[in-house]
Amino acid sequence: MDAEVPAGTVVIVIDVIRAFTTAAVAFERGATEIVCASTVEVGRDLRRLHPDRLLVGETGGLKPVDFDFGNSPLEMSTAHLDGRRLIQATSNGTRGLVRYPDPVALLAASALNVGATVRWIRKNHAETPCTLVCTGLTAEDWACASYLNDLLHGSEPRRVDLIAGIMDGAAEHTRRYAGQPAHERVDLSRDLPYCCDVDRSEFAMVGEIRQDHVALSKVPC
């Protein structure tokens, strides 16, 4: 995520476990906008300015007590969000999204909307170079980036390979959490079916850059 991003490119920021999977499910549930904040503190500041908005996210993988929802696609899958605007703050995904101040276009992606992301780019910026940014160091984001890159270049990657990469990444997360105190461990098992549901969401998540955050909108593709 700290790599230099060339100017004049379409930037696609990837977070499969779990930020942009959660965001995609929120859009499926009727959310109209998701404002992505760099930190939970910025998220809280935005909430004070816009008290009607729901606050979503995590710190250390766990939901802060004053947030409405955690960073969980399972939790989001039963939320009633028709017409609601959300503020999302996570350790990697949203923090990564706000780091790029001047791309040609900015998109958030996970396995759920990887195909729609590529269709949006082909429709709107077919001749523009793309930069793919993995927000974490674990296997799932790299697998998604490889899959997306193959699609962009006209190949036909195998979904089974993407899903295997996501499961490998989940195992890496689980091993890391195993070394933490019990109350700080995150159980990803019930979120994983959503993270692995390739191309379930037929829309791109397109970012509009604002002063201290990025506002995502759902664009059907």
CB within 8 A of 9, min separation 6: which ones? 103, 104, 128, 129, 130, 131
Q: How confident is the model at residue 44 (pLDDT cuts 50, 70, 90)?
A: very high
pLDDT per residue as tens digits for the range 112-122? 999 999 999 99
Q: In the predicted model, what is the mean pLDDT of the chain?
A: 96
4 in any annotated domain: no
Neighbours of 94 (CB within 10 A): 33
**pLDDT-derived band at 1, boundaries 50, 70, 90:** low
Domain that holds residue 48: 10-220
**Residue 130's CATH number:** 3.90.1560.10
Locate 152 and state its tokens.
Answer: 């962009």
Is residue 163 domain-resident? yes
Is pLDDT of 2 > 60? no
Number of domains present in the structure of the chain: 1
Assess if residue 3 is contained within a domain: no
79 is a domain residue: yes
Distance CA 154, CA 147 (A): 11
Is 5 within a domain? no
Burial of residue 17 (CB within 10 Å: 0-12, 13-18, 19+) is buried
Q: Helix or strand or coil: residue 50?
A: coil
pLDDT given at position 167: 98
- Whats the size of the chain, residue-wise? 221
What pLDDT sits at residue 101? 84
Helix (H, G, I), strand (E, B) or coil at 86: strand
Question: Does residue 184 sit within a domain?
Answer: yes
Cα separation, 13 vs 15, whole angstroms? 7
DSSP string over 149-204: HHHHTT----HHHHHHHHHHHHHHHHHHHHTS-GGG----TTTHHHHT-TT---EE
**pLDDT > 80? residue 41:** yes
State the Cα–Cα distance between residues 113 and 132, nearest whole angstrom: 15
Give the pLDDT mean for 148-156. Answer: 97
Domain assignment present for 178: yes
Give the confidence band of 6 by pLDDT, cuts at 50, 70, 90: confident
Contacts of 215 by beta carbon, 8 Å cutoff, 6+ apart: 33, 34, 35, 36, 207, 208
pLDDT in tens, 77-105: 999 999 999 999 999 999 999 999 889 99
- On whether residue 2 sits in a domain, the answer given is no
Residue 18 CB neighbour total at 10 angstroms:
30
Q: What would the mean pLDDT of 146-169 be, rounded to a whole number? A: 98
Question: What's residue 211's pLDDT?
Answer: 84
